[in-house]
Amino acid sequence: MAADFAGSFEHSLDSKGRVIIPVSLRDQLGEQFTIALNSENTALALYPLEKWEEIKARLSQVRSTDVKGMMYVRYIMGNAYTGNVMDAQGRILLPQKLRSKVGLARELVFVGMNDHIEIWDASRYQAQEQEAEMDFADLLAHMEERY
């Protein structure tokens, strides 16, 4: 069954770099999942196993002679942490390397993105949400033209 992640949830990072996964997202995430960078390199992404396998299948189509393509694959795979599991309290450890890349501080926002979850720094997410609200008509026109 495909995941159906939706909603936004605020949580705090603890001193050990762990965060609690919102209860409403836990079951869909599954027992094992991958932590990686989102497609815009602005937040972390949690991918259920099934979705991560789809991403890997697409990446495996890049020819080894495609230098730019291989650079992209190397970046994505080199910043992906597979086989993650939640502890008994529903917490996960967010790798320091990834937290630094996207500027995560203590206050975080989990955002359901249909087939995966994004984890944003709260202030960065708030700024992005305000920008989306100000440009909503333009965003809607963009979506209607393309999808």
- Which CATH number characterizes residue 135's domain? 3.40.1550.20
Q: What is the mean pLDDT of the chain?
A: 95
Model confidence at 1, pLDDT cuts 50, 70, 90, reads low
Say how far apart CA 88 and CA 78 lie, in whole Å: 28
Is 1 within the bounds of a domain?
no
Nearest to 49, CA basis, from 119, 116, 120 = 116
List the domain range (segments joined by +) for residue 29: 8-146
The number of folded domains in the chain is: 1
Distances (CA, A) of 123 to 43, 77, 102: 12, 27, 12
Nearest to 121, CA basis, from 133, 135, 104 = 104
Q: Is the pLDDT of residue 19 over 70?
A: yes
Q: Are 104 and 121 in contact (CB under 8 A)?
A: yes
Percent of the chain exceeding pLDDT 90 equals: 92
Higher pLDDT among residues 3 and 143, named by residue: 143
Is 2 within the bounds of a domain?
no
Q: What is the mean pLDDT of residues 75-87?
A: 97
pLDDT score at 3: 77
Say how far apart CA 95 and CA 80 lie, in whole Å: 10
Is 71 within the bounds of a domain?
yes
Q: Are 104 and 94 in contact (CB under 8 A)?
A: yes
Is 130 within the bounds of a domain?
yes
Nearest to 129, CA basis, from 103, 102, 109 = 109
Model confidence at 53, pLDDT cuts 50, 70, 90, reads very high
pLDDT score at 75: 97
pLDDT tens, residue by residue, 82-133: 999 999 999 999 999 999 999 999 999 999 999 999 999 999 999 999 999 8
Is 3 within the bounds of a domain?
no
Q: What is the pTM of this model?
A: 0.92
